[in-house]
Amino acid sequence: MTLVITFIVCLVLISEGAFASRLSVSGDHFVYNGEKVFLSGGSLPWINYAHDFGNNQWAGVKSQVENQMKMLRDAGGNTMRLWIHIQGGSTPQFDNNGYVTDFDKQGTFMNDFKDMLNLAQRYDILVVPTLWSAAVNQDRSHHLDGLLVDWRKLTSYINKVLVPLVRAVKGHPALGAWDIFNEPEGMLKIGESHDDPCFDTTKLSGSGAGWAGKRYNYYQILRFINWQADAIKKEDPEVLVTIGVWNPKSCTNNFGLANHYSDACLYKAGKRQMGKLDFYQFHTYSWAGKFDNVSPFVNKYSDYGTSKPIVIGEFNKKNGGGRSFKQLFEYAYGHGYAGAWSWDLVSKGRDERYGISLLKDHTENGKIPIHI
């Protein structure tokens, strides 16, 4: 009888994914299923901007997302970055005072999200959901604004949506990491002096930051990240958390700059111990045909002075310093970075998948094709 009970318990655990591999960090690189891996892929990032999940919207885009996952898998990629709320245009559900009350109005968000992860598992793709973005100011209802400036509204999102969502998908084998915020520097107030380097933005004057409107200081931005990262980690301590910075200028203590997203800075703003990032994600685009001196495509991983892995999380050929996708992906793989995600698979997918395909058989800096 004891043997029978043990066998049944094992079957239940297996069916719930208890023994499924999960992406983890080991020093400066990622590990999956006991092996060093390089995260190779790209951003989808949406089919219908801010309207892919919830409110019965997923059904209309599912086949297109599935096709993108299949093509990425066939090219040898293993990771896809997908945008979720963006600035709250469709989800989550807000009341008239800007407090979050639910996932969405029609009640499909949770099933949509789970279905997306199940699709990704079918095609051996790790998904990195990007929750919010400050790259473009389209926050006409001030939904994102409320979460950034009012801790009570941020708490309503965390309690009503984030925690239940993380709890519901905890341990899903296709969930690679949570990406809390895309390019927060888009709405950063530049040129503000502060005694603490974490909140001082004078070094970013003239950098291009604040292009979408200078609305938030680093205290507000870092609290926003710290609280959400902490909530995620409390529900799922093993899952990875990151954000996507517009340029390494805001995320390194080298080059005469300041790393505003260090563990210490995030804690100073939010005071929540678990609200830290597991890896950094640098975006980089050339200007007038050249990358700046801080770009990962003119530096190697060790030049940034961090012990956390770095993924080059956005780049493209149009603003790629005159390099092909082949050269860009190979540079990322050969210079100590832990991953490379091109932008974006919908509009430039054919060229990007070609670059991705040229890496798939490499193993010296981590294997790429995985089985979920």
HEC string of 121-140 equals: HHCCCEEEEEEEECCCCCCC
Known catalytic residue at 314: yes
Which of 35, 314, 352, 364 does the annotation list as catalytic? 314
Per-residue tokens: 323: 């390099």
pLDDT tens over the chain, length 372 residues = 444 444 444 444 434 444 468 999 999 999 999 999 999 999 999 999 999 999 999 999 999 999 999 999 999 999 999 999 999 999 999 999 999 999 999 999 999 999 999 999 999 999 999 999 999 999 999 999 999 999 999 999 999 999 999 999 999 999 999 999 999 999 999 999 999 999 999 999 999 999 999 999 999 999 999 999 999 999 999 999 999 999 999 999 999 999 999 999 999 999 999 999 999 999 999 999 999 999 999 999 999 999 999 999 999 999 999 999 999 999 999 999 999 999 999 999 999 999 999 999 999 999 999 999
For every residue of 307-349, DSSP letters joined together read SS-EEEEE--STTSTT--HHHHHHHHHHTT-SEEEES-HHHHH
Has residue 236 been placed in a domain?
yes
For every residue of 246-301, DSSP letters joined together read SSGGGB-SSTT--BTTSHHHHHHHH--TT---SSEEEE---BTTB--TT-GGGS-G
Has residue 371 been placed in a domain?
no
Distance CA 236, CA 239 (A): 6
Q: What was the pLDDT predicted at 20?
A: 63
What total of structural domains would you count in the chain? 1
Has residue 367 been placed in a domain?
no
Has residue 364 been placed in a domain?
no
Has residue 214 been placed in a domain?
yes
The 3-state DSSP composition of the chain as helix, strand, coil percent (nearest 5) reads 35, 20, 45
Specify the DSSP class assigned to residue 220: H
Has residue 67 been placed in a domain?
yes
Coil, strand or helix at 181: strand
Q: What was the pLDDT predicted at 15?
A: 40
Q: What was the pLDDT predicted at 9?
A: 40
- Domain coverage including residue 94: 2-357
Number of H helices, E strands in the chain: 10, 13
Has residue 196 been placed in a domain?
yes
CATH number of the domain residue 246 falls in: 3.20.20.80
Known catalytic residue at 66: no
Which of 183, 185, 235, 352 does the annotation list as catalytic? 183
Q: What was the pLDDT predicted at 54?
A: 98
Has residue 372 been placed in a domain?
no
